[in-house]
Amino acid sequence: MTSNSPISQYVSRFKAEKGKILSFLSAFPFYGEVLKNHQYYEADRISRNELSKKLDSLKEPIRRIEENFVRERRMDLIGSTEVLLSILERLKNEIIGASYGLNGLGTGFKATESELEALAEWDYSLIHHAEELSTKVKSPDFPPEVSVDTVRNWVSSFRSELDEFDSALKSRKDVFLKR
């Protein structure tokens, strides 16, 4: 495991959170091996939490866009961003749910360190994608006289970005299953 890989960063964060008891127990051969495997599951949990928080943070800018439509009394635009909020909620629930993390891959699988590295790299790329989405959702500053077509095009464009993110989530398991 390289020192600058995403999984090593998450494992380091896990070690820092657990402190002296973990380092004491890892000195014993049996506990050391058990804790080593446990570190990957904890690193996966940390990355899933981080990813879900990033997706959750996308909701507030979308709500503000909707509030502006209400404030401006643009009846033709009210509710146009609801589909984005529902997609974000579904994606967040998918990530938090047990079907996304290492447990979702099946407890019968014994993942190798290289497979866990590949999964961490995948998750790290998803985190970067979520950051790009955050930039895109904060960029539109619709003027009061914005046309309905402009808003619909932006919503459609952002929805396609979320669909790409969704397909990346679904293809994550292919990294592990070597498809």
Q: What is the pLDDT of residue 109?
A: 53
**Residues contacting residue 45 through CB under 8 Å, at least 6 positions apart:** 101
**pTM more than 0.75:** no
| Most confident of the ranges 28-32, 89-93, 115-119, 121-125 | 89-93
Position 72 in a domain:
yes
Classified as helix, coil or strand, 56 is helix
The rounded distance, in Å, linking the Cα atoms of 128 and 112 is: 25
- Domain contains 100: yes
* 89 in any annotated domain: yes
Is residue 110 in a domain?
yes
Question: Residues, the chain, total?
Answer: 179
Domain count along the chain: 1
pLDDT value, residue 127: 86
Sign for the CA dihedral angle at 101, 104, 107, 113 comes to negative
Residue 121 is assigned to a structural domain of this protein: yes
Q: Stretch 52-68: mean pLDDT, rounded?
A: 89
pLDDT at 27: 59
- Across the chain, mean pLDDT equals 76
Determine the structural domain holding residue 97 and report its residue range: 7-176
Identify whether 1 is part of a domain: no
**For helices 113-138 and 6-18, what crossing angle results, to 10°?**
90
Residue 54 has pLDDT above 80, yes or no: yes
Per-residue model confidence (pLDDT) at position 164? 93
What was the pLDDT predicted at 121?
77
Q: Answer whether residue 51 is part of any domain.
A: yes
Whether pLDDT at 57 is above 70: yes
Q: Which whole number is the average pLDDT over 135-151?
A: 84
User: Would you say residue 119 lies in a domain?
Assistant: yes
For residue 47, the model assigns a pLDDT of: 79
